[in-house]
Every structure is written in structure tokens, then in C-alpha cells.
Amino acid sequence: MKNKTLKEFFERYSSNPTLDRKVWRQGRVDWSVFKKYPRDYQNPNTGSVPGMIYYKDTVRFAKRNLEEIHEHLVELEEELGALDVPNFRDSETYYYNWLTWFMWEDLARRLWDYLEEDYD
């Protein structure tokens, strides 16, 4: 099996490498550790993703990348149908936090798929 690299994922498998790189950097997870235990990093709400623990980090990330995140969500909805987005009418903080966590979970799932894909 070929040695999978993060660089290769961004260059060959990512539909939006710029946003995916931002999400990856925000997560502050070591690639070599992620490769060994990808399931441990799927859900940022467990505290396993250092860059996604505190609202000050997740809210700032979502606000800085809001347009790109919304574009990604539209693409996903076109591909998968309507997403189940919680109602955050009363809390802007929770909304931004959810956006950042959603982006991490989506990236982690695609990285997991990439790592499990076999080459002949």
C-alpha cells in the first residue's frame, strides 16, 4: 500500500484544498497520529482536536472563513440533499461553533476515506 500523505490528499483528493488546509491547521492535530488513529479525531466535541476546544477559537475560525464554509455547505447540499442544521436562532456563538465542528467532521471523514482507500 502506498504511503498516504496529507499533501497528496490536498493536491489530488480535495475539492477545496484552500479551505481544507485552513480546517486542518485549525485542528492542530499531528498527521502521523491522525493516520494511526483516525477514528479518535472524528468528533471535535470530545476534546481530541486541540484547535476546536474553545469557543474563542471555533467562533473566530468560522467568522474568518464564513463565505468559504457557506459555499462548501451549498455544495454538500447539492450533492447530498438538505443538511440537518440545528436551529441556532438564540445563539450566534453556538452557530459558529457548529460550523467549525461540521467542517472538521467533514474533513476528518474524507481523510478517513482517503486513508482506507487501497491502491492496486
Question: Mean pLDDT throughout 88-104?
Answer: 90
Q: What are phi and psi of 39, to 5 degrees?
A: -70, -25
Cβ pair 62, 69 in contact under 8 A: yes
C-alpha grid cell, residue 7: 499533501
Q: Which residue has the higher pLDDT, 32 or 120?
A: 32
How buried is residue 33: exposed, middle or buried, by Cβ count under 10 Å (0-12/13-18/19+)? exposed
Rg (CA), the chain: 14
**3-state DSSP call for residue 97?**
helix
Q: What's the whole-number average pLDDT of the chain?
A: 90
Q: Is 4 left (phi over 0), alpha (psi -120 to 50) or beta?
A: beta
Give 3's contacts (C-beta < 8 A, 6+ positions apart). Answer: none
- The answer to whether the pTM exceeds 0.85 is yes
Mean pLDDT, residues 20-36 taken together: 96
Asked if the model's pLDDT at residue 102 lies above 90, the reply is: yes
Which pLDDT tens digit goes with each residue over 48-90?
A: 999 999 999 999 999 999 999 999 999 988 888 777 777 777 7
Share of the chain above pLDDT 90, in %: 72
pLDDT of residue 119: 52
- Has residue 120 got a pLDDT over 50? no
Q: For residue 16, give the C-alpha cell.
A: 477545496
Higher model confidence: residue 87 or residue 5?
Answer: 5
Neighbouring C-alpha atoms within 13 Å toward the C-beta of 70 = 7
- Predicted pLDDT at 57: 96
